A and B are shown apart, each in its own frame.
Chain A
Amino acid sequence: MTAAVDFKNVDIVFGAARKEALALVDSGATRQEILEKTGAVLGCAGANLTVNEGEISVLMGLSGSGKSTLLRAVNLLNVPARGNVMVKDGDRMVDVAACDAATLRHIRQTRVAMVFQQFGLLPWRTVAENVGFGLELSGVPEAERKARVERQLKLVGLDQWASKYAHELSGGMQQRVGLARAFATEAPILLMDEPFSALDPLIRTKLQDELLQLQAELKKTIIFVSHDLEEALKIGSHITIMEGGRIVQTGAPEDIVLRPANDYVRDFIANVNPLSVLTAWNVMRDRRDLDHGEDGWVWLDRRKTTRFKVDEHGLVAAAERDGKPAFWVSCADVEAQPEETTQVFWANPGTSLKTVMLAMHRSQTAPVALFDDQSRFVGAIGVRDVLSAVLRR
């Protein structure tokens, strides 16, 4: 995996007394202390974050935590006081904090596009003219521009609205125009600054789904700012949590939920339903940690109700439950299976915890086995594993 955006020790300070403020940053002062002593506002301090190509990296935090500030450093809407913001430009990495005006313009026109919270559309332009705005700035000839605009409008389902003005559209449609404008430049990196916060919940969910669909096709690198954890967990492949201008924790969604770094993060995830984030992989016990019997038999649960005989390739050769032979079934269509005590369900690492629990329910609390994509036995989940994950113990 290659990095598309790389923040290295980025400090951002607003106000006149930058030097004094940076000295305080180095001594570890909080934003409040810096404000009181120097009058400067700490936007963000010591931010280190790598965003890889093709992933959706979500910056999370309460308002004022510095998430937008950090995002806006990528296209230099905010200028870092110190540090480097490396942005991928073809085969090289460019430090936007130190490059000249022409390079910055090149990055902004062709590498990094942005979607704004308040849409940032130009009211005197039609929808089509708004979508073509970025192309116009970089001097794309009119014929090509028209074709690309039309394609983008089709993509977001607004081709019927091309000649309307922005204020004639609903909020959700306006943000689709904002999305189309960003897509139109074909920039591989997309900055989204709370793009769906100004929309009502139903439209928000819909646009999130649309974004995920488009992303599956377009495979952009997206840095997404949000204050809504549900949203972050839904769309993020990585989540970075910020507090008071500093990064508190970075990780995959389930890492954040399973292993919060501190109380701030714990408060954040307090109301999140773990079933919507966790997968079988997160809660399983590794095969090596299970109780091994003789002849290659492995106990799947601590109560020793169920065991597998695993051959030298890691494939399951036989199964036994409560001392009687059993067979193993995929839990992919668990609802369709009869409730029998002679079956043991198996899941893949990516199977959601919810499905695993359903499978347990169906098989009267039998453990669920985990197979990798070559059907090798990798681990098992018992009732206790599920309970401790849900209760976060």
Chain B
Amino acid sequence: MKKNEGTIAMDPVSQLISSFKIPIGRWGKTFFDFLTTNFEWFFDSIADGLTVVLDGLVDLLLLVPPVLLVAAIAALAWYLQKSWKLALAVALGLLFIVNQDLWQETVETLVLVVGAAAASMAIGVPIGIWAAHNERGYRYLQPILDLMQTMPTFVYLIPVLILFGLGIAPGLIVTVIFAAPAPIRLTHLGITSVPKPMIEAGEAFGATKRQLLWKVELPAALPTIMAGLTQCIMLCLSMVVIAALIGANGLGKPVVRALNSVNIPLGLEAGLAIVVLAIILDRISRIGTGAAK
């Protein structure tokens, strides 16, 4: 009971309603307590596994001299988009980050973002395909997706923290929760909007359900699914700072530190690095959009 509560004039009905508070919060806590006491080994092993893989990847990439890695990423940009201008811009942007002495943080962020985006796609695309063939299921799925995207991140930060501890693993999981709805929605959209004549062409020539999916639906939906990938990567990147709050290393860390110490120069440097990374990832990941028209 807070002190000022008595000062609000309450009518009898409202008083009756508020006389018994539904203990949602406590139920939730009981549920998470149950999970931690009974399945701690399960969540711990997930967390440990993820940490080993992700940290190992970061260490591996940091073994490579920054300039070489910059060149490799620029080459990848050229390979995917066939544009010298883009490759050059990518190289310059990354060299700027190296110059700002934020290279290690950038690599950590890159691993987190790419890992989370890959996990989101691996989860989201199959669910999206299922939902596209099961409109009833999608009706039930939709409110869950809304919940995942609108529930303030800090709220599920707490249970994730309890279940998985601190570090890069909970950071990845929080990011996936936030980013996975995008590929689910766009895969669903892509497959449900495949033109009917194409589906019928497949059926008329005797395609099985599986052939229809692989030879007609997925190729036709590919541009939309790829738009989902781009969106997913951007959503993952937007979680970098929040992931830093539960101990994930990366560019989020200097931002949080800058906030806590009111350090304008540090905040600006790290913020700019995130923006540069965002632009680079966005441009590189626009695969197939427009090409398969």
Contacts and interface: CB of A to CB of B under 8 A. Distances in A.
Interface stretch (B44-52, B129-137, B212-220): B212-220
Given A77-B200, A122-B216, A124-B219, A105 B206 contact: yes
B197 A108 contact: no
B60 interface: no
Contact of A120 (B200, B219, B292): B200
B204 A137 contact: no
B179 to A, nearest CB: 27
A97 to B, nearest CB: 15
Given A122-B216, A122-B219, A123-B292, A137 B207 contact: yes
Interface stretch (A111-119, A233-241, A264-272, A385-393): A111-119
| SS class, residues of chain B in contact with chain A | helix
Given A137-B211, A137-B215, A167-B293, A120 B197 contact: yes
B205 A108 contact: yes
Contacts of B201: 114, 116, 120-122, 133
Interface in A60-90: 75, 77
B219 A114 contact: no
Interface residues of B, number: 19
B222 to A, nearest CB: 8
A167 B292 CA distance: 11
A118 B199 CA distance: 13
Interface string B185-201: 00000000000011011
A77 to B, nearest CB: 6
A77 B220 contact: no
A250 interface: no
Contacts of A114: 201, 204-205
A377 to B, nearest CB: 51
B211 A75 contact: no
B233 to A, nearest CB: 23
A7 to B, nearest CB: 18
Contacts of A159: none
A105 B203 CA distance: 9
B4 interface: no
A122 B202 CA distance: 10
Contacts of B197: 116, 118-120
Nearest to A139: B211
B208 interface: yes
Nearest to A125: B219
Nearest to B291: A124
A138 interface: yes
A136 to B, nearest CB: 7
Interface string B215-253: 110011010000000000000000000000000000000
Nearest to A117: B197
Contact of B205 (A104, A109, A121): A109
A105 to B, nearest CB: 5
A106 interface: yes
Given A118-B197, A123-B293, A167-B293, A77 B204 contact: yes
A77 B206 CA distance: 11
Given A137-B211, A137-B215, A122 B220 contact: yes
Contacts of A122: 198, 201, 215-216, 219-220
Q: Output the residue of B197, B206, B211 with the most chain A CB within 10 A.
A: B206
Contacts of B216: 122
A269 to B, nearest CB: 31
B208 A105 contact: yes
B220 A134 contact: no
B241 to A, nearest CB: 39
Contacts of A167: 293
Contacts of B198: 120, 122
Given A123-B292, A167-B293, A77 B205 contact: no
B293 to A, nearest CB: 7
B140 to A, nearest CB: 22
Given A122-B216, A122-B220, A116 B206 contact: no
A191 B216 CA distance: 21
Nearest to A122: B198
Interface in A285-331: none
Interface string A344-359: 0000000000000000
Nearest to B288: A124
Interface in B75-105: none
A175 interface: no
A185 interface: yes
Nearest to A107: B206
B293 A113 contact: no
Contacts of B208: 105, 137
Given A77-B200, A118-B197, A108 B220 contact: no
A124 B203 contact: no
B206 A138 contact: yes
A106 B207 CA distance: 10
Contacts of B207: 137
Contacts of A136: 215
19 contacts: A77-B200, A104-B206, A105-B206, A107-B206, A108-B204, A113-B205, A114-B205, A116-B200, A116-B201, A118-B197, A120-B197, A120-B200, A122-B216, A123-B292, A123-B293, A124-B220, A124-B222, A133-B205, A137-B208
Given A77-B203, A105-B208, A122-B215, 13 more contacts: A106-B206, A108-B204, A110-B206, A112-B204, A113-B204, A120-B197, A122-B198, A122-B220, A133-B205, A137-B208, A138-B205, A138-B206, A181-B205
Nearest 4 pairs of A and B residues by beta carbon: A108-B206, A109-B206, A120-B201, A134-B205
